[in-house]
Amino acid sequence: MQHLISRIKSLAAEAAADTVALRQHLHQHPELSFEETQTAAFVSGQLRQLGLSPQPMATTGVVALIEGRNPGARTVALRADMDALPILEANEVPYKSQNPGVMHACGHDVHTSSLLGTARILTQLRDEFEGTVKLIFQPGEEKLPGGASLMIQEGVLQNPAPASVLGQHVFPHLPAGKIGLRAGRYMASTDELYLTVRGKGGHGAMPEQNLDPVLVAAHIIVAAQQLVSRRANPKIPSVLSFGKVIANGATNVIPNEVYIEGTFRTLHEGWREEAHGHLRRLVEGLADAMGAECDLEIRRGYPYLENEPQLTARTRAAAEEYLGAENVVELDQWMAAEDFAYYSQTADACFYRLGTRSADGRNSSSVHTPTFDIDAQALETGPGLMAWLALRELAAGSPA
């Protein structure tokens, strides 16, 4: 076992400069969700250079198989997402985005280049393992309905069906060389809320002649918080936030309507459904009681993400073998959302976090910010670790 770890680490180190170059190319040429045409072509070209046969799937997704000895013995899937965000990059680096207003600010360029590095390692180790590794390069993680849901609908978890699915995500709060993971419920579901409150606008000095939708909207925003404070089981994490309110009047003008956007997140699918009903009744009832009208659209997003406990325990043990126990940390629950959750609702899955911060504290900007960047060491750790995790998971299905 130690010999194989050493070999993987050697291969990861040999490929590190190329993996960094792949990441920098992807970083310079970001594409938005479901528009990853050039990215998919680039990924497919890299896979063909490794002797693989990439296949298109779900608009701009790419899937490829690495077959070892006895390919039908067991299959493990490894997933990376490829899309970027509508953010103007503020970093002044040679590999700065060449597509103004679009940036790999969530590290998907890291995920994609890392999985390409893993593919490079595993293609050199075909004689060392039994089974098949399925590579999933996925579009549209940042945009509903989520590329994962489309990939699954098109059969990415079939022919061959993986026994488990592994995914990684950058984590700027951890130094490069470390990873974090958590068994069980890890990330939240996410639903988008779109609310229009309609009244009767007019002069701000004569409110008695109007029906003020701003006042109604304010009551709704405040009252809706009882959904979390008084309706939710305190043991079930829940978040309700309103981030956009447009009341397009003036200092002396009451508008006809107010438009509101928000998000609801939780870690329990049953409560999620119940909360939708509570919210709708509260909003519609309060608007009606105050004489206004309203329309509430609840746009259903990703489910909560659950790391299968036994798979996560094996992943933790394998990561400790590869990195050392001191470099594998326990994560807290996180109320952000990820469409990897669709895999976790369909198959045994484990989603872990890859440290990307420099030892001196640089590259610590959060994801989804214009200054996000990583320490290049992560692009040696990430590919090697995922290759080792894949081999250990393939071996988990072998007789003792």
Helix (H, G, I), strand (E, B) or coil at 136: strand
Full 3-state SS string of 199-241:
CECEECCCHHHCECHHHHHHHHHHHHCHHHHHHCCCCCCEEEE
**375 carries an active-site annotation:** no
Give the C-alpha separation, 54 to 71, whole Å: 17
Q: Are 173 and 107 in contact (CB under 8 A)?
A: no
Active site residue 83: yes
Catalytic residue among 83, 308, 348, 393: 83
147 φ/ψ sector (left φ>0, alpha ψ -120 to 50, else beta): alpha
Is residue 176 classed as helix, strand or coil in its secondary structure? coil
Catalytic residue among 67, 81, 141, 373: 141
Output the six-digit token pair for 332.
């807290």
d(CA 30, CA 96): 10
- Burial class for 381, CB neighbours closer than 10 Å (0-12, 13-18, 19+): buried
Side chain identity, residue 399: P
- Catalytic residue numbers, as ranges: 83, 141
